């Protein structure tokens, strides 16, 4: 069943277009991530679902019921704000207990204490219950804000960057904890806003990529990774980022080939929805390339690209190598052994599997052309 149905939301703030035809659905019990850069309209989308922002047009349905006329306090949604929005006059306990004492729930004191204690312990703020909000670090505040959401049952959880201010170690453990909660017994529908693709890939059942108020693609983590629909989506996932080489397509005896603008890179590409002569860009993920140091046979079916080392970044077990091939820069992640002894301006080769390249139209918004 559909828990949240967002239908072509439009919203302008003055002249600024915040939402431009945003539509997606979230199924019951699904963990849906909204991924995008800052200013993309993620928070506005979330607040529209919560009823805190009135969209100029479009609608939000909750559990199949149009929510336009439902006040935020009757939508039974729990939201975690990026600014925490903790009540400064209350201590941690009262902040987390607030939704349990509201007219909607009005739980007895004993149960409030029990639930708040359990939630706070789970989030690692159990020892801070008597503290004032102003005595907490940002990371602690963020966990209290998350606690105010997780403490109660709700039709859906709306989480706005709930892990952004935690330090790296805590973020990883909280991510695991969130995943456990989200996919645990409760299976509460969750809309999770983030700009961190790792969070999106690891937590989400499905991801919606949003930019400039438009949803670019909605799909499972697998789908957005394997078949990104625009160059921007491809760039949004993976570190180091996908490398792009701009060039054109030519027809070479029935085989479509990609040739970079300077002619230094040619790769056969199959199943591309474009005419020869069109300006396109070729995207290759750094982990889909291998460094070929000269020794050993070139495996069958791979293409060889020759270039020189431009930048070397040794990152522990792996080395990020950026090569200059003609005028383009292409990144590859190589094992430390393969990159051993390399120096800047050394000649090296890359091996590329033509089945794993992505062809996009020109520019950031270039649409996917390979099937």
Partner 1 sequence: MGTTTEPMAEPAAPAPAKQPPGPPSTANQRRAQRGSAAGLFGNLALVLYFAFSLLPVLFIVLLSLKSNAQQTTTYLWFTPTLENYQTVLGLGDGGSSYVRFFLASLATSTGAVLVSLLIGIPAAYAAARYRFRGSEDLMFTLLSFRFAPELVVIIPLGVIYQQIGLYDTIFGMIWVLQLVTMPLVVWILRSFFQDLPAELEEAALLDGYTRRQAFLKIVLPLVRPGIAAVCLLAFIFAWNNFIFPFTLTSGDAQTVTVSSLAFLGGNQVRFNLVAAGAVMAVLPPLVLALCIQRYLVRGLSFGAVKG
Is 103 a binding residue for partner 1 by CB under 8 A? The answer is yes
Is 4 a binding residue for partner 1 by CB under 8 A? The answer is no
The string of DSSP letters for 240-280 reads SPPEEEEEEEEEETTEEEEEETTSS-EEE--SB-S-TT-EE
Least gap, CB of 109 to partner 1 (angstroms): 17
Nearer to partner 1, 87 or 363 (CB): 87
Least gap, CB of 73 to partner 1 (angstroms): 5
DSSP 8-state secondary structure symbol assigned to residue 69: T
Residues 6+ apart with CB under 8 A from 314: 336, 339
DSSP 8-state secondary structure symbol assigned to residue 230: B
Nearer to partner 1, 73 or 298 (CB): 73
Choosing from 104, 138, 173, 222, the residue that interacts with partner 1 (CB under 8 A) is 104
Choosing from 36, 41, 55, 99, the residue that interacts with partner 1 (CB under 8 A) is 99
Maximum Cα interatomic distance, the chain, rounded to a whole number of Å = 79
Per-residue contact flags (x/-) with partner 1 for residues 18 to 47, judged by CB under 8 A: -----------------------------x
User: Of residues 58-97, which lie at the interface with partner 1 (CB under 8 A)?
Assistant: 71-73, 75, 77-79, 81, 83, 85-89
Torsion region of 9: left, alpha or beta (phi above 0 gives left; psi -120 to 50 gives alpha): beta
Assess whether the previous peptide bond of 87 is cis (omega < 30° from 0): no
Within a 13 Å sphere around the CA of 150, how many CA atoms are in the beta-carbon half? 25
Per-residue contact flags (x/-) with partner 1 for residues 131 to 150, judged by CB under 8 A: ---x-------------x--
Residue that has been written with the tokens 């929805």 in this structure: 273
Site residues (vs partner 1, CB under 8 A)? 47, 50, 52, 71-73, 75, 77-79, 81, 83, 85-89, 98-99, 102-105, 134, 148
């Amino acid at each position: 069943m559909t828990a949240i149905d967002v239908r072509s939301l439009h919203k302008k703030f003055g002249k600024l277009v915040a939402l431009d035809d945003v539509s997606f659905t979230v199924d019951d019990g699904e963990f849906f991530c909204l991924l995008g850069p800052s200013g993309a309209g993620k928070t506005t989308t979330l607040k529209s679902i919560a009823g805190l922002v009135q969209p100029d047009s479009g609608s939000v349905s909750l559990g199949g019921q149009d929510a336009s006329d439902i006040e935020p306090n009757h939508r039974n949604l729990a939201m975690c704000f990026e600014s925490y929005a903790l009540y400064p006059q209350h201590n941690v306990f009262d902040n987390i207990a607030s939704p349990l004492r509201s007219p909607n729930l009005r739980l007895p004191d004993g149960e409030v204490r029990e639930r708040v204690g359990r939630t706070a312990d789970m989030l690692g703020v159990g020892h801070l219950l008597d503290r004032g909000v102003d005595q907490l670090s940002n990371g602690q505040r963020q966990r209290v804000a998350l606690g105010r959401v997780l403490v109660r049952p709700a039709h859906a959880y709306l989480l706005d960057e709930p892990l952004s201010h935690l330090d790296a170690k805590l973020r990883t453990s909280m991510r695991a904890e969130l995943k456990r909660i989200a996919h645990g017994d409760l299976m509460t529908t969750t809309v999770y806003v983030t700009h961190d693709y790792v969070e999106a890939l690891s937590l989400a059942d499905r991801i919606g990529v949003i930019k400039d108020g438009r949803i670019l693609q909605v799909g499972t983590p697998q789908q957005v990774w394997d078949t990104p629909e625009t160059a921007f989506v491809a760039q949004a996932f993976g570190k180091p980022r996908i490398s792009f080489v701009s060039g054109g397509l030519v027809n070479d005896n029935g085989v479509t080939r990609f040739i970079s603008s300077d002619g230094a890179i040619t790769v056969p590409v199959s199943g591309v929805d474009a005419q020869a002569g069109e300006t396109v860009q070729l995207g290759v993920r750094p982990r889909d390339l291998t460094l070929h140091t000269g020794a050993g046979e070139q495996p069958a079916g791979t293409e060889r690209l020759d270039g020189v080392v431009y930048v070397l970044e040794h990152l522990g077990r792996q080395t990020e190598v950026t090569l200059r091939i003609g005028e383009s820069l292409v990144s590859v992640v190589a094992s430390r052994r393969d990159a051993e002894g390399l120096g800047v301006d050394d000649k090296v080769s890359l091996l590329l599997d033509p089945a794993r390249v992505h062809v996009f139209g020109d520019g950031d918004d270039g649409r996917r052309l390979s099937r």
